[in-house]
Amino acid sequence: MEKLKLLYQWREDREWITSDFVFGDKEGIPPTVKMLNQTVRRLGALTDINKQFRTYILRHTHISLLAEAGVDLNFIMNRVGHKNSETTTKIYLHVTSGMRVAATEKMHAKFTELLNDHTENE
């Protein structure tokens, strides 16, 4: 909320037109997809990442981070408007390096527990 307040104050200081949109230009008009893509490309050019930046990369990253955080598939589907889990799993839920590390740690912990239980029962 603090960041939104700062944004509104910034607009007011520059005498931008007040509108119902959170993001908009000085006339209060919300950004177009073209404008968003241009902004994302400019931001991408400031990084060392060698991928083409478009707005979809933000969506893809968001979904991947939710999956890596262990967020329920149904929640992710609802959040992004997918009706079919196949869409979400095929397109977005690739295995991230964080998910691989987490899975390895869980397997190690489980096998260690099983080995310890087996050793104690001997």
Kindly report, residue by residue over 88-119, the tens digit of the pLDDT: 777 666 666 677 787 788 888 888 888 888 77
pTM for this prediction:
0.52
Kindly state whether residue 1 falls inside one of the protein's structural domains. Answer: no
Residue 14 in any domain: the answer is: no
The arithmetic mean of pLDDT across residues 45-68, rounded, is 84
User: Taking the CB of residue 2, how many other CB atoms lie within 10 A of it?
Assistant: 6
Confirm whether 31 is domain-assigned: no
- Per-residue pLDDT at 44 exceeds 70: yes
Q: Which structural domain, as residue segments, surrounds residue 71?
A: 56-120
Please tell me which residue, 4 or 67, carries the higher pLDDT value: 4
Q: Given a cut of 70, is residue 11 above it in pLDDT?
A: yes
Task: Kindly state whether residue 11 falls inside one of the protein's structural domains.
Answer: no
Q: Is 36 part of any domain?
A: no
Answer whether residue 122 shows pLDDT above 80.
no
Compute the CA torsion angle 75, 77, 80, 84 (nearest 10 deg): -160
- Residue 63 in domain: yes
Residue 121 has pLDDT above 80, yes or no: no
- Which pLDDT value is given to residue 6? 92
Q: Quote the pLDDT of residue 96.
A: 66
In a domain, 86, yes or no: yes
In a domain, 65, yes or no: yes
Give the contacts of 51 (CB within 8 A, at least 6 positions apart): 44, 57
User: DSSP assignment, residue 27?
Assistant: T
Total domains present in the chain: 1
Mean pLDDT across 53-80: 84
28, 16 contact by CB (below 8 A): yes
Mean pLDDT estimate for the chain: 84
